[in-house]
């Protein structure tokens, strides 16, 4: 009898909830605890730009459709090894990249701390859409020493948060069962759980889980990702902080539309992640068109409720009855260059493009993406990069090494609020065969050219050699100009001392030639030299010139036999 009474009580409770929903006022809105009203959140965090991240971690996440957070050290050779992943693939695969200092070596004083943190942030900012918040999870790295007060000194300039205070971190064993149970507990407790590891896979570097245990965890997450939010550290932290103080107010309500206001105490310039809202709407609605500012989307309505996304502090939210958008957004006109369409560019390290506004009267424009290739619509240079709602881009990603005389095309993909896409391609541009100018531009060695000692960079200097200077890297001076006097055999080379091996150096070097520049009689100039502790040659970069072809760049390094061998050149 007792069992029957419990069933009866449960039935009454369900009936009461149904009656309550039936008579709920239109516009009544709840804020889901987690994205898409899931139970709990789970974050996979990976530190130190490991080579195994490129070889094992990222491929295993991508093929399973899982998100993850990667804390990067952009000045390390490990970052260079995975540069295509960090600067292209990560963004379109939903993987988060976070600053983890430039070198993971700590800092001796506040100036060095500022450099290590600020440059890491600058790198990460360039890898994300231009309209994305500059607030990121940050960690200084384990086993490093920092000066007192460094956090307070730099936090106001480079916004970062102690996100781990909101999460439960894994402290269990390297065990398949324990790892999976930790994910299950996130759902059971309706909480945020984080697992931190470093290398992964059969060739993991250090501080990682045994490969079968790690992959078993990933396989389990695939089975529960419809109910557990597999999230990144930054997105989850933003969601939590926005939700804590969020409120929804009704501005207007009738059978045709609802106008709502979503507020939160968080700064809308930093906290830009959308919250999941669930609103009561008229029972006659089958689909709901949701607009907030420039953002629009169409969502299905189920039993008089619509679940959708909105960002606190981004203006009022307007909900209307709608039908599903089945038409692709209009195409755009893509111009090569930053303004009017160009046919030629002087830059081998930079691509600019702009495009007209796309038109979609039903669900609006949600996103623009671009990619660059040597064929119309191709991605031979770089694959899809998220550009937010911005309609112009100038990108200098590290991997760019355009070939003079080659033609390049920019493709723009437009995505509307129903997820439908259209693509448009520029008519292409050619990189000038013979450039008309030269000067050194930022960055080198993942820093700025303020890293070079100014006294060797002045016009008319008795020396054209530019040496590294640790102190100058903190001075905030930008740019160099080097002049060669007539018949001057000195070369304007930059020298980096005490290099152990060429493979240990992450080098990013830009330069351009003055319009009156003439090559010395020798026919080549050394523009970069790496030396070991004894002052001996390790590697170098050279500028050459050939009649009918123009200027070209080539590199030499000291091979295992002691001879200077060449790397592939860039004409």
pLDDT digits (tens, 9 = 90+) for 248-263: 999 999 999 999 999 9
The answer to whether residues 317 and 261 touch, using CB atoms and an 8 Å cutoff, is yes
**542 three-state secondary structure:** strand
Tell me which residue of 182, 167, 181, 190 sits closest to 37, measured CA to CA.
190
Looking at the predicted structure, is the pLDDT value of residue 478 above 70? no
Q: Which tokens go with 506?
A: 């992450």
Alpha helix stretches (DSSP H) within 191-298: 211-224, 233-245
Q: According to the model, what pLDDT value does residue 422 have?
A: 97
Distance, in Å, from the CA atom of 220 to the CA atom of 197, rounded to the nearest integer, reads 17
- Residue 422 CB-half CA count within 13 A: 18
| Distance spanning both ends of the chain, measured CA to CA | 88
The answer to whether residues 288 and 281 touch, using CB atoms and an 8 Å cutoff, is yes
pLDDT tens for residues 317-348? 999 999 999 999 999 999 999 999 999 998 87
Average pLDDT over residues 236-259: 96
Cα–Cα–Cα angle for 212, 214, 219, rounded to 5 degrees:
90
Q: Give the count of beta carbons closer than 10 Å to the beta carbon of residue 529.
A: 20
Burial zone of 75 (CB within 10 Å; 0-12 exposed, 13-18 middle, 19+ buried): buried
Question: What is the number of helices (H) and of strands (E) in the chain?
Answer: 11, 33
Q: Are strands 229-231 and 69-72 parallel, antiparallel or unpaired?
A: unpaired
pLDDT tens for residues 543-571? 887 776 677 778 888 877 878 887 654 44
Contact partners, residue 134, CB within 8 Å, separation at least 6: 121, 125, 158, 159, 270
User: Distance of alpha carbon 318 from its chain centroid, rounded?
Assistant: 31
The secondary structure of 333-353 as a DSSP string is: PEEESSSS--SEES-SS-EEE
Distance, in Å, from the CA atom of 153 to the CA atom of 531, rounded to the nearest integer, reads 35
Cα–Cα–Cα angle for 517, 571, 451, rounded to 5 degrees:
60
Looking at the predicted structure, is the pLDDT value of residue 157 above 50? yes
Q: Which of 85-89, 246-250, 482-486 has the highest mean pLDDT?
A: 246-250
Average pLDDT over residues 104-115: 90
Q: According to the model, what pLDDT value does residue 571 have?
A: 41
Q: According to the model, what pLDDT value does residue 188 have?
A: 97
Distance, in Å, from the CA atom of 396 to the CA atom of 402, rounded to the nearest integer, reads 11
By mean pLDDT, which of 193-202, 266-275, 357-366, 540-549 is the weakest?
540-549
Looking at the predicted structure, is the pLDDT value of residue 435 above 80? no
Looking at the predicted structure, is the pLDDT value of residue 458 above 90? no
Q: Which tokens go with 526?
A: 């050394």
Would you place residue 452 in the very low, low, confident or very high pLDDT band (cuts 50, 70, 90)?
very low
Q: According to the model, what pLDDT value does residue 503 have?
A: 54
Q: According to the model, what pLDDT value does residue 522 have?
A: 59
Average pLDDT of every residue of the chain = 83
Distance, in Å, from the CA atom of 112 to the CA atom of 407, rounded to the nearest integer, reads 42
pLDDT tens for residues 498-539? 776 655 555 555 566 666 677 765 567 777 788 887 888 888
Looking at the predicted structure, is the pLDDT value of residue 463 above 70? no
Average pLDDT over residues 299-318: 96
Average pLDDT over residues 177-181: 98
């Amino acid at each position: 009898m007792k069992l029957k009474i419990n069933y009866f009580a449960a039935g009454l409770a369900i009936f009461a909830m149904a009656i309550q929903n039936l008579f709920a006022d239109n516009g009544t809105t709840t804020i889901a605890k987690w994205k898409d009203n899931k139970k709990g959140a789970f974050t996979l965090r990976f530190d130190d730009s490991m080579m195994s991240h490129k070889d094992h971690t990222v491929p295993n996440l991508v093929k399973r459709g899982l998100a993850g957070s990667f804390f990067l050290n952009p000045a390390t050779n490990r970052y260079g090894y995975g540069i295509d992943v960090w600067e292209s693939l990560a963004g379109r695969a939903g993987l988060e990249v976070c600053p983890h200092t430039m070198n993971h070596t700590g800092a001796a004083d506040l100036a060095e701390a500022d450099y290590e943190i600020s440059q890491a942030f600058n790198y990460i900012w360039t890898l994300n859409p231009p309209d994305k918040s500059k607030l990121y999870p940050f960690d200084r790295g384990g086993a490093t020493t920092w000066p007192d007060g460094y956090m307070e000194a730099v936090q106001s300039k480079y916004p970062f948060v102690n996100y781990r205070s909101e999460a439960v971190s894994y402290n269990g064993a390297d065990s398949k069962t324990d790892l999976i149970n930790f994910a299950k507990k996130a759902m059971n407790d309706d909480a945020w759980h984080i697992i931190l590891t470093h290398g992964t896979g059969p060739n993991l570097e250090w501080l990682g889980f045994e490969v079968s245990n790690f992959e078993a965890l990933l396989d389990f997450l695939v089975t529960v990702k419809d109910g557990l939010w597999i999230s990144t550290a930054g997105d989850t932290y933003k969601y939590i902080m926005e939700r804590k103080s969020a409120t929804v107010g009704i501005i207007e309500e009738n059978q045709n539309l609802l106008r709502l206001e979503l507020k939160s105490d968080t700064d809308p310039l930093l906290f830009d992640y959308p919250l999941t809202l669930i609103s009561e709407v008229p029972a006659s609605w089958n689909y709901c068109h949701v607009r907030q500012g420039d953002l629009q989307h169409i969502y299905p309505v189920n039993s008089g409720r619509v679940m959708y996304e909105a960002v606190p502090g981004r203006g009022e939210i307007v909900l209307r009855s709608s039908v599903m958008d089945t038409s692709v957004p209009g195409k755009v006109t893509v111009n090569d260059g930053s303004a009017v369409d160009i046919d030629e560019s002087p830059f081998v390290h930079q691509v600019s493009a702009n495009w007209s506004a796309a038109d979609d009267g039903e669900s609006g424009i949600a996103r623009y993406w671009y990619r660059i290739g040597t064929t119309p619509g191709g991605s031979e240079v770089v694959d899809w990069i998220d550009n937010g709602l911005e309609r112009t881009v100038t990108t200098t990603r590290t991997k760019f090494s355009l070939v003079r005389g080659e033609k390049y095309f920019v493709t723009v993909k437009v995505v509307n609020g129903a997820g439908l896409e259209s693509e448009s391609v520029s008519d292409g541009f050619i990189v000038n065969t013979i450039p008309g100018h030269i000067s050194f531009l930022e960055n080198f060695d993942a820093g700025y050219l303020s890293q070079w000692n100014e006294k060797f960079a002045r016009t008319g200097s008795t020396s054209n050699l530019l040496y590294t200077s640790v102190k100058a890297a903190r001075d905030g001076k930008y740019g160099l100009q080097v002049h060669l006097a007539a018949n001057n055999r000195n070369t304007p080379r930059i020298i980096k001392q005490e290099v152990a091996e060429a493979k240990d150096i992450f080098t990013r070097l830009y330069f351009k030639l003055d319009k009156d520049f003439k090559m010395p009689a020798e026919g080549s100039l050394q523009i970069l030299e790496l030396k070991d502790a004894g002052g001996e040659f390790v590697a170098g970069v050279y500028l050459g010139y050939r009649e009918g072809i123009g200027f070209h760049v080539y590199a030499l390094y000291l091979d295992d036999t002691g001879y200077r061998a060449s790397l592939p050149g860039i004409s």
